Amino acid sequence: MSTAGKVIKCKAAVLWGPNQPLSIEDIEVAPPKAFEVRIKILATGICLTDHHAITGAMGANFPVILGHEAAGIVESIGEGVTTVKPGDKVIPLTLKQCGKCSSCINPNGNFCLEMNVTAEGAWNDGTTSFTCKGKPVYNFIVTSTFTEYTVSSESWVAKIDAAAPLEKVCLIGCGFSTGYGAAIKTAKVTPGSTCAVFGLGGVGLSIIMGCKAAGASRIIGIDINPHKFERAKAVGATECINPKDYTKPISDVLKEMTDNSVGYTFEAIGRHDTMIDALASCHMSYGTSVMVGVPPRSKMLTYDPMLLFGGRTWKGCLLGGWKAKYDIPKLVSDFMAKKFDLDLLITHVLPFNEIHKGFELLEKGESIRTVLTF
Ligand code: PAD
Ligand code: ZN
Ligand code: ZN
């Protein structure tokens, strides 16, 4: 029996407030309105950004359904939707692409200026697509994938290869694309260069994969958890170091190790101190440092401007700099063409109802990516 046009009752992990446990609830998912798409989620990764929203380091309206790194199948579409149809395999996007604003039309921009309209987790008319116990539930970065069904807007959904394995390509929805793009698209790592990656989680390892694909000859991984080193080396790190093993600043350690030749550094943690460490660690004249970790909300950062005065470049990027609606399907095609291996990033696969275990593994530093399947 078709569910199109009807409210769907299903399970979702609802976060009722900051620092509360995720609660698996029965929710109602409204049918898609004009230009909206309702998606049956089949696989979703757990990213540290979801954790930032739980702790309050990243803003969200409550109650909220988190999750933003997923893949699924279109269940039904609203009026006017032309780019996807029921049955299509899709990746919900964390960045929209209006295709018309100054950011979308510039080849280097991917942060669509229309983004702010949905920043509060509700649609333009103030409504939400989810309800639980009679209360509206907000969305998270328009994706909300810790649910059996979600609703997104057409410009936030990318149709992907019908043969793509969803339990793997879900990582292309966030972590993989973010890291890989940070290296090849944002930093534009050059062949033969030396790179240093701070933070060896799913994003950091994807940065390493990007540095390697770009032809870097030396890739140094940095993490305070040495258990992360083995997998970092498996994806391409040539060596790994733990800042806790040194008394001097990590920037000095890297300078000595490389005869002062670190061309590119990346911060994939989300801390101010490591953002400055990463900046100070790239070459003072020609180095580029990319801020990939989400900066803590509402906190100012102070730094010595001399760090930039000699010529360093300091950049940030969202989703690796990719233009989501156009580039995500291409990355899925690249995966299908075996240009990179996502299995290296997936340490755990769990059923959706074990989501708590997935977050525990993340908190304990025991996972790279946990994929939840439905
Ligand atoms: P993760 O928790 O899997 O990895 C973070 C790693 O950092 C862990 O291995 C930690 O041990 C390590 N770490 C923590 N503190 C330190 C420290 N002081 N020094 C060295 N290493 C440390 O996270 P992730 O890979 O899922 O995400 C990493 C960041 O990237 C996080 O801030 C997330 O919010 C951000 C992100 N940004 C985007 C974007 O579009 N810019 C997208 C996705 C994720
Ligand atoms: Zn993410
Ligand atoms: Zn735009």
Positions of CATH 3.90.180.10 in the chain: 1-28+71-154
Residue 120 pLDDT level (bands cut at 50, 70, 90): confident
- The answer, yes or no, to whether residue 103 has pLDDT greater than 70, is yes
| Amino acid (one-letter) located at 76 | S
Mutate which of 46, 48, 110 for ligand 1? The one with the most ligand atoms within 8 Å of its CB, which is: 48
pLDDT digits (tens, 9 = 90+) for 306-357: 999 999 999 999 999 999 999 999 999 999 999 999 999 999 999 999 999 9
From the options 3.50.50.60, 3.20.20.70, 1.10.4030.10, 3.40.50.720, give the CATH code of 176-320: 3.40.50.720
- The answer, yes or no, to whether residue 119 has pLDDT greater than 60, is no
Residue 136 pLDDT level (bands cut at 50, 70, 90): very high
- The answer, yes or no, to whether residue 214 has pLDDT greater than 80, is yes
> Residue 224: CB within 6 Å of ligand 1?
yes
119 CA to middle of ligand 3, Å?
A: 15
List Cβ neighbours of 134 (8 Å cut-off, separation of 6 or more).
none
**pTM exceeds 0.85, yes or no:** yes
Q: How far apart are CA 138 and CA 286, in angstroms?
A: 44
Q: Is 206 helix (H, G, I), strand (E, B) or coil?
A: helix
> Residue 222: CB within 6 Å of ligand 1?
yes
Longest dimension (CA), the chain: 67
Positions of CATH 3.40.50.720 in the chain: 176-320
Q: Which of 368, 364, 356, 306 is nearest to 21 (CA)?
A: 356
pLDDT at position 116 is 66
Quote the tokens at residue 248: 């001097």
- The answer, yes or no, to whether residue 146 has pLDDT greater than 80, is yes
- The answer, yes or no, to whether residue 285 has pLDDT greater than 60, is yes
- The answer, yes or no, to whether residue 28 has pLDDT greater than 90, is yes
* Orientation angle between helical segments 355-363 and 48-55, nearest 10 degrees: 90
Q: How far apart are CA 202 and CA 222, in angstroms?
A: 13
308 CA to middle of ligand 2, Å?
A: 29
- The answer, yes or no, to whether residue 118 has pLDDT greater than 70, is no
Mean pLDDT value across residues 173-192: 98
- The answer, yes or no, to whether residue 195 has pLDDT greater than 60, is yes
Strands 288-291 and 313-316, sheet pairing: parallel
Compute the Cα dihedral for 311, 253, 187, 158 and give only its sign. Answer: negative
pLDDT at position 297 is 84
109 CA to middle of ligand 3, Å?
A: 9
Which numbered atom of ligand 1 lies nearest the CA of 199? 7
Q: Which of 184, 150, 368 is nearest to 195 (CA)?
A: 184
- For domain 1-28+71-154, give the fold: Quinone Oxidoreductase; Chain A, domain 1 (3.90.180)
pLDDT digits (tens, 9 = 90+) for 228-273: 999 999 999 999 999 999 999 999 999 999 999 999 999 999 999 9
Mean pLDDT of the chain: 96
Which numbered atom of ligand 1 lies nearest the CA of 273? 18
Percent with pLDDT over 70 in the chain = 99
Q: Is 201 helix (H, G, I), strand (E, B) or coil?
A: coil
115 CA to middle of ligand 3, Å?
A: 8
